[in-house]
Structure 1
Amino acid sequence: MTPPNKHEHATLDASDKKRLIILVCTILAFAVMNGTMFNVAIPDIAASFNLSPSEVSWVLTSYILVFAIGSLMYGKLADIYPIKTLFTIGISIFSLGAFIGFLSPNYPTLLAARILQAVGGATIPALAFIVPIRFLPKEKGRVFGLISSTVAFASGVGPIIGGVVGGTLNWRFLFLFSVATALAIPLFRKWLPDEEKREGSIDLPGAALMAISVASLLFYITLLSWYLLVSFIVFFILFLWRTFTIKQPFIDPVILKNTKYTITVLTSFLGTSALFGLIFVIPIMLRDLNELSTLNIGLVLFPGAMAAGLIGQFGGKIIEQKGATVVVKLALILIASGTFFISTFSGYNAWVIAPCLLIAYLGFPLIQSSTADLLSTILPDNQNGVGMGIFNLLNFMAGAFSSAIFGRLLDMKNVSFVMNPLSRTNDNLIYSNLYLGLSLIAIIALVIFTLKFLSKREKSLSESPVS
């Protein structure tokens, strides 16, 4: 009899695999664009309901908060319940929330719709990274590359689509993209293999403590109120206490004791933080130093997003041929190089910045795909769901950290010290310093990762006595 903590890999033929990969990537693109499309619609939503900036910001904040926590929860659920069932429930809730948002007569209804969307939509990225592990184990490196490229491409294209649809029609029509995801439900029901429910249970009190601590931290990052930091510390300590004192905690502490796992997710967090910092600061810099319009800023960003969308197949092949550790290092080198070049050339013509941005953008799908592939080999089958859930949660938190921290740093005035001696010393100084900081973050991640994942030959050379 097969042990309950093991997952049997279903046998799929080549055509089934191709259809499943296309379906997962398509639905993931819709989910990612749902988040980024609304960024450009915020002014229109505020005008429609006569909202202040702080009020309308909850359209994005509430979605990100619930989405981040949900990605961890669905990862845990995937260790117990069939993926087909979770996709069906999640996409149904996601589409329902979008339909309510399209019809929303007032702001509270719109906010409820966005939260409902996040509750359901969190299934999509959470399960997208688990599907290759569960059903496509031999091709997972290549599939992770495609998935990560989809995320990078959709992140770049989303604001452009949002601007076009919102500008020509109305911001409400952005919700119809999400309503359309309901069409994928029968395809998932047909193409995903059947699975039995596995033994296990959800530690609901532990999940609640984790959710409250994460929410407190994300709110603290945004609002910088001391009581939120105290709330995070208290609830996180309670979560750790429960995790180490009950038999079946929400997160198995064995995962946290696995140093290869923790170093890999830390590497992903640092690399993703640098990328989100790049994405957050670059439009502000192009508007401030180059005086570009929103459309022209989008045109500067678009080549990088396109290149990131195309690099996934290449990155996936390197993962399969050379291993994920090689691609992790390559991704961090690209991120560090691109941000260093932007630090050096900030203040130059925007078309000098574009190729520098493209170099850094290439690291986006590579860091995601390579760390996801590495995690799938580090963890046993019965921990892959929650392990990938933590991975997704930290990636979302990386975005929140970067936006809050670099937003605060951009408020600094009269910066006089020069971190990059190759840069111009004029109005670009704050941007030059910030981008050099991003480069250093990527280098730190590279050093930490390299020290942990030395090859056997490198280890033997480093441990051999010097004659």
Structure 2
Amino acid sequence: MTTITTVQAPPRNTPSAGATGLRLGALFGPVIFGVTAAGVALPDVAAAMEVRPAVAGWVLTAHALALGIGTAFFGRLSAKRGVRDTLLAGSILLAVGAVICLTAPDLGTLVAGRFVQAAGSGAVTSAALTLVSAAPVARRARILGIFGASMALFSSTATLMGGLATEWAHWRITLVLPALSLLAVPFCLRLAAARPGFGTPVDPRGGLLLGTAAATLLLLIQAPSLDLTTGPVIVLSALLALSAAGLAAHIGRRPDGFFPRPLATDRTFLTAALIGLGGYAGLFAAMYAIPQILTVTYGWSVLAVGAWLLPGAVVGAVAARIAGRLSTGRGGGRLLAGTAVTSAGCLGIVGLVEGGVVVMLIGTSMGMATFAATQVLTTAVLADRLEPARRGAAMGILNLLFFVGGGIGSATTGTLSEHLGPTGALAAVALLPLLAGVTALLLPPAGPGRES
């Protein structure tokens, strides 16, 4: 008896795998500008707002926090109501945040605008990652490869875009570059509409507890640079302890809540989270400190910083593209380990022995490669291991942890730089991408993939 296996073709109006990957990459890509392009503009932000560089670092820290929380919250919203609603809500937040950033009269308002804008970017990020991981198995590898290449392209041009916008226009334009994601939204609405929700509860209480714990942790790290007195520090410490304890208890009571209990005990998920947390911390630290070092110590213009980071970032883009091809074997984890450890080594050398410009550029470029490769590899691995109903929440929580790691990197570097200088701060933070590199060797490869 002969068994005939048929493969169901995608619907007639469905874009090709290449077009789908390109659209989702264009949707996600500008989010990267909020990190790397904004880092180039930080010296100008500090000068214009008449604040210390460590305080201006909240332009990055607040963005990282809101991006992480937004990605996690809207990941849950996608699981309940579908990706289309998430994408539309995120578009509104992106636009409103951009307007606030363009008109903010002081740093506090500017940081608030960045927070709103990053929350919108979080929704966009969640939508893109959910749609990539939900692609049919037969098309997923192709979509993921194009998505990774598109994301790497944005990563490789982000510093130059930041330099051009700051030097030729205004630093405010640099801070709202993530709003370019809005241009890709109309081309992704049909894809989003094809991904309805599963009716999964959002669990706002769990989200509030997790967001409070993350926010208070970052505030405590930067307490010295914010000139917080003993009273507020005690209050923040108590709030961190209570929110963390409340979150742990809530996970026990609500296994299907905002932070699902199966994720909290899943070894692969925790491995991926640790990799991203450390890798993003290294990149955010580099993008906080190195533009300042190059402009203040070496007298470089902002445009020169962006231009000289571009060649190394292209190398990072290539590494990310290769990571997509290696996701089904051990080679992906090894490549990720190599980029993270190299970045950590360069940042350590800059701080300990004043390694110079070339070492700074290599360290930052490898941080960008780690950033892009982490997204590609972890998306592939979790799409393989999680059923469709859990992917949106899992990718949201995972990226929350990634971007909280980024916030820890920029916040810690800003605080330590006031005592150790920017180079000394980089040496201390280099331990985090080093940890990410070692952990990357434990990341299992993606298998053939689960059908959506």
CA distance in 2, matches of 1:99, 1:444: 42
Match of 1:251 among 259, 278, 301: 259
Moved more, 222-231 or 122-131: 222-231
Match of 1:333 among 315, 329, 338: 338
Match of 1:382 among 353, 378, 389: 389
Contact 1:307–1:361 under 8 Å retained in 2? no
Contact 1:76–1:385 under 8 Å retained in 2? yes
CA distance in 2, matches of 1:45, 1:361: 22
Shift of 1:95: 1.9
1:269 aligns with: 277
Structure of higher RCO (CA pairs closer than 8 Å, 6+ residues apart): 2
CA deviations on 1:70-111 (whole Å, 9 max, x unpaired) are: 111111122222212211221133123323543556767655
Residue 308 of structure 1 pairs with residue 316 of structure 2: yes
1:238 aligns with: 246
Contact 1:148–1:312 under 8 Å retained in 2? yes
Larger Rg: 1
CA distance in 2, matches of 1:411, 1:105: 26
Moved more, 165-174 or 286-295: 286-295
Shift of 1:223: 2.0
Moved more, 327-336 or 156-165: 156-165
1:441 aligns with: 435
Contact 1:289–1:347 under 8 Å retained in 2? no
Closer, same or farther: CA 148–138 of 1 in aligned 2, 3 Å: same
Amino acid at match of 1:270: G
2:122 aligns with: 122
Moved more, 121-130 or 110-119: 110-119
Contact 1:329–1:446 under 8 Å retained in 2? yes
Contact 2:36–2:287 under 8 Å retained in 1? no
Shift of 1:130: 1.4
TM value normalised by structure 2: 0.79
CA distance in 1, matches of 2:67, 2:94: 11
Residue 219 of structure 1 pairs with residue 224 of structure 2: no
1:419 aligns with: none
Amino acid at match of 1:242: H
Closer, same or farther: CA 343–121 of 1 in aligned 2, 3 Å: closer
2:207 aligns with: 207
Residue 23 of structure 1 pairs with residue 23 of structure 2: yes
2:72 aligns with: 72
Contact 1:145–1:316 under 8 Å retained in 2? yes
Shift of 1:152: 5.0
TM value normalised by structure 1: 0.77
Contact 2:34–2:176 under 8 Å retained in 1? no
Closer, same or farther: CA 279–150 of 1 in aligned 2, 3 Å: farther
Q: How many residues align?
A: 429
CA deviations on 1:319-372 (whole Å, 9 max, x unpaired) are: 2xx43x430222112321454366568545534664566556543322331122
Amino acid at match of 1:188: C
Amino acid at match of 1:66: A
Closer, same or farther: CA 410–91 of 1 in aligned 2, 3 Å: same
Residue 318 of structure 1 pairs with residue 326 of structure 2: yes
Unpaired runs of 5+ in structure 2? 1-7, 225-232, 447-452
Identity %: 21
Shift of 1:237: 0.8
CA distance in 2, matches of 1:182, 1:403: 27
CA deviations on 1:41-83 (whole Å, 9 max, x unpaired) are: 4555566666676775554443332222111111112222221
Superposition map of 1:169-188 within 5 A: 169-174=169-174, 177=177, 181-188=181-188
Shift of 1:288: 7.6
1:95 aligns with: 95
Shift of 1:270: 2.9
Shift of 1:279: 4.4
CA distance in 2, matches of 1:175, 1:408: 22
Moved more, 249-258 or 388-397: 249-258
Residue 396 of structure 1 pairs with residue 396 of structure 2: no
Secondary structure at the counterpart of residue 198 of structure 1 = coil
CA deviations on 1:367-408 (whole Å, 9 max, x unpaired) are: 331122112222222211111111101111111222233444
Closer, same or farther: CA 342–216 of 1 in aligned 2, 3 Å: closer
CA distance in 1, matches of 2:266, 2:107: 45
Unpaired runs of 5+ in structure 1? 1-7, 415-426, 456-467
* RMSD value, Cα: 3.9
Closer, same or farther: CA 181–268 of 1 in aligned 2, 3 Å: closer
CA distance in 2, matches of 1:440, 1:264: 14
Shift of 1:183: 3.9
